[in-house]
Amino acid sequence: MFKRLALLVTLVACSNLSAGQGYIYEDDLLLDTFPTDFQWGVATASYQIEGGWNEDGKGPSIWDTFTNGTTNIDDQSTGEVACDSYHKYKEDVQLIKNMGLTSYRFSIAWTRILPQGTGTANPEGIQYYKNLITELRANGIEPFVTLYHWDLPQALEDLGGWRNPDIASWFEEYARICFTEFGDDVKNWITLNEPWVVSVQGHGIGDHAPGLQGIGTTVYEVSHNLIRAHAKAYRAYHKDFAAEQGGFVGITLNVDWAEPQDPNDPSHQEASENNLQFSIGWFAHAIFKDGKYPGVMRQKIDAKSQEQGFEKSRLPEFTAEESAEIKGSFDFLGINHYTTHIVYPEIGSIDEVSYFLDDDTTDYQDSNWYPSASSWLYVTPFGIRKLMNWLKNEYGDVPIYITENGYSDHQGNLDDIHRIYYYKHYINNLLKAVKQDNVNLKGYFAWSLMDNFEWARGYTEKFGVHSVDFTDPARPRTPKASAKYLSQLASRNGFTSSVGPCSNGR
Ligand code: GBE
């Protein structure tokens, strides 16, 4: 699934697609509003915006190592300065305030709090986030804080990082410091951002830090420890902090919608289901259902591992104690969603040991869809509504936040009509999911507040609703048209007949 090779241009004829088939259609907009307590926000992540990479006692992270003096990043850039939010956080808060948004999702750099990953905490690093949180609160903006958005302390990587089972305790120790220091003012915590990406891109393909390539093996060890770590932090919060602080802890998972190529063919429906179980279910099933991996993963990976001559299944098992700790370790589900793939069944060869072959599906994206600057991101607004319904069916009525959703271009121009189109139609599909399908969606965070360090793509792909001039040491920010569009949606809490371009029905 989601093979890099499968960035395919499809030959599927689209001329006869009906709305029901789902590849290409544009519904009329629903002119209605979200529930009154709906949260509107923007999101960022520490390494992508902060800079200040070695200031005030911060320790090096795996992204400092991965970017520094290597060819891992397209434009050979790093996050050493990035948007300089380490110094410009007050301005960032004003950008959010000016948009009239109610919340901000940012992440804490573990290396600012614990430069060596464990042990002695760094008061200056703690102070930076206290200042940011105070500034947000003073401006009426609710912080949603991610504890881990990929910048692992290098000191812990040197001990095996996410491959070392001890990391669950290291993460708990770090999380407890954050709960203690910031928990009076932070009521919404996200343990991990996109453990799928940490596993697959960090430890499978290796295009992300720490750059390991164990696509059929290491990825499953790493995901196992990520889930264990998440659960430990969740349990620590509810054991020792929740009663006093009254907050909530969730996890953010990335998932693309898997559209069956032929929605009437049961084998294609099954491929879609399996694809979703291998992507989001890999992490969500144990947490939101029963403390175990999805049955289809257990069955397929066990069988393939045996045929491939492994002594044990490549998919580890949770102990009974771990299962009990993991099951139910959530107060909400955070979803990062961007795009859709068309999926059909294809038995994966066992000659090659790969996560991408384990699910016996293959996929592509339709070349008729609007593209973006990111090879993987095609504009498919219908997918987000189908996904919301799938999540509701699969995991019940859990509160959901869209913790990221957004669109990239190369130019970073201010009149960013493509991004407005994207937000308009994705958010309107979410509105339909809430109003017509009764999905329990609590809030929406656009990715991203501003153009920033886009990981292996450096500064070449821009997701911001503010542009940043990276050639100017002052890193000035300028709102794009999409910032104004989002602030209109937020101020009206949805769609009314006069919101934005082309809003009358379409
Ligand atoms: C988010 O991930 C990140 O949380 C955020 O930090 C980032 O800036 C933003 O997206 C924009 O990219 O060859 O099968 O591994 C998979 C988005 C590519 C989720 C890219 C993996 C999108 C999941 C290619 N996708 N990503 S491969």
Ligand 1 lined by 186 (C-beta under 6 Å): no
Q: What is the pLDDT of residue 22?
A: 53
| Mean pLDDT to the nearest integer, 89-118 | 99
* Active-site pick, 135, 172, 194, 454: 194
pLDDT band at 25 (very low <50, low <70, confident <90, very high): confident
Tell me, in angstroms, the distance from the centre of ligand 1 to residue 477's CA. Answer: 24
Q: Which three-class secondary structure string do you get for 226-260?
A: HHHHHHHHHHHHHHHCHHHHCCEEEEEEECCEEEE
Whether the per-residue pLDDT at 24 is higher than 80: the answer is: no
pLDDT band at 337 (very low <50, low <70, confident <90, very high): very high
Separation of alpha carbons 22 and 51, rounded Å: 42
pLDDT band at 14 (very low <50, low <70, confident <90, very high): very low
- Please state, rounded to an integer, the average pLDDT across all residues of the chain: 94
* Active-site pick, 157, 273, 325, 404: 404
Tell me, in angstroms, the distance from the centre of ligand 1 to residue 260's CA. Answer: 22
Q: What are phi and psi of 241, to 5 degrees?
A: -125, -35
Mutate to test the pocket of ligand 1, among 194, 219, 459 (most ligand atoms within 8 A of CB): 194
Separation of alpha carbons 380 and 375, rounded Å: 14
CB crowding 65-99: b at 16 or more within 10 Å, else e:
bbbeeeebbeeebbbebbbbbbbbbeebbebbbeb
- In the chain, the amino acid numbered 164 is N
| Mean pLDDT to the nearest integer, 294-310 | 98
| Mean pLDDT to the nearest integer, 402-416 | 98
| pLDDT: which is higher, 2 or 419 | 419
207 in helix, strand or coil? coil
Separation of alpha carbons 357 and 354, rounded Å: 5
Give the number of the atom of ligand 1 that is nearest the alpha carbon of residue 194: 4
Whether the per-residue pLDDT at 83 is higher than 90: the answer is: yes
Ligand 1 lined by 254 (C-beta under 6 Å): yes
CB crowding 276-314: b at 16 or more within 10 Å, else e:
bbbbbbbbbbbbbeebebbebbeebbbebbeeeeeeebb
Whether the per-residue pLDDT at 229 is higher than 90: the answer is: yes
Whether the per-residue pLDDT at 504 is higher than 60: the answer is: no
pLDDT band at 442 (very low <50, low <70, confident <90, very high): very high
pLDDT band at 237 (very low <50, low <70, confident <90, very high): very high
Tell me, in angstroms, the distance from the centre of ligand 1 to residue 479's CA. Answer: 24
Residue 259 bears catalytic tag: no
Separation of alpha carbons 415 and 465, rounded Å: 10
Tell me, in angstroms, the distance from the centre of ligand 1 to residue 447's CA. Answer: 11
Q: What is the pLDDT of residue 27?
A: 84
Range with lowest mean pLDDT among 14-23, 89-98, 252-261, 450-459:
14-23
pLDDT band at 7 (very low <50, low <70, confident <90, very high): very low
Give the number of the atom of ligand 1 that is nearest the alpha carbon of residue 454: 8
Give the number of the atom of ligand 1 that is nearest the alpha carbon of residue 150: 6
Give the number of the atom of ligand 1 that is nearest the alpha carbon of residue 2: 14
461 in helix, strand or coil? coil
Ligand 1 lined by 201 (C-beta under 6 Å): yes
Whether the per-residue pLDDT at 26 is higher than 80: the answer is: yes
Q: What is the pLDDT of residue 219?
A: 99
| Mean pLDDT to the nearest integer, 289-304 | 98
Residue 194 bears catalytic tag: yes
Whether the per-residue pLDDT at 230 is higher than 90: the answer is: yes
What is the tens place of the pLDDT at every residue in 160-197?
999 999 999 999 999 999 999 999 999 999 999 999 99
pLDDT band at 500 (very low <50, low <70, confident <90, very high): low
Contact 190, 145 (CB under 8 A): yes
Q: What is the pLDDT of residue 108?
A: 99
Q: What is the pLDDT of residue 217?
A: 98
Mutate to test the pocket of ligand 1, among 3, 336, 341 (most ligand atoms within 8 A of CB): 336
Ligand 1 lined by 390 (C-beta under 6 Å): no
Q: Which residue has the tokens 């869809």?
A: 369
Q: What is the pLDDT of residue 498?
A: 59
Tell me, in angstroms, the distance from the centre of ligand 1 to residue 343's CA. Answer: 19
Beta bridge pairs of residue 144: 105, 188
What is the tens place of the pLDDT at every residue in 191-226?
999 999 999 999 999 999 999 999 999 999 999 999
119: left (phi over 0), alpha (psi -120 to 50) or beta: left
